Copies of this chain bind each other. A is one copy, B any other.
Amino acid sequence: MPLQPIRFFYDLLNQSSRALYIFLESSKIPFEAVSISVLKGEHLTGEYRDKVTRFKKVPALTDHNLQLSESVAMFRHLIRENIIPEHWYPRKNFGRSRIDEFLEWRQRNLGLASTDYFQQKWLVPYLQKRQPNESAVNMAEKQLNHTLNEFEQLFLHSKGFMIGDNISYADLLAICEIDQPKYIGFNPFIHRPKLDRWYKTVRDELGTYYKEVTHEFDNKLRTAEKSHKEAISLKQ
**Is the C-beta of A103 less than 8 angstroms from some C-beta in chain B?**
yes
Within 8 A of B (CB), among A24-57: 54-55
**Is the C-beta of A92 less than 8 angstroms from some C-beta in chain B?**
no
Provide the residues of chain B in CB contact with A55, threshold 8 Å. 105, 154
**Nearest B residue to A77, CB-CB:** B97
Taking residues whose C-beta sits less than 8 angstroms from the other chain, chain A's interface range is: 20 to 34
Q: Write out, one digit per residue, whether chain A residues 75-106 have a CB within 8 A of any chain B CB (1) or not (0).
A: 01100100000000000001011101101110
Give which listed residue, B72, B94, B107, contacts A66 with CB less than 8 A: B94
CB distance from A127 to the nearest CB of B (A): 20
Binding site for B on A (CB under 8 A): 54-55, 63, 66, 68-73, 76-77, 80, 94, 96-98, 100-101, 103-105, 107-108, 111-112, 154
A55-B105, A68-B97, A77-B96 are known; give 9 further A-B pairs, CB within 8 A: A54-B154, A55-B154, A66-B97, A70-B105, A73-B97, A73-B103, A80-B96, A107-B107, A108-B112
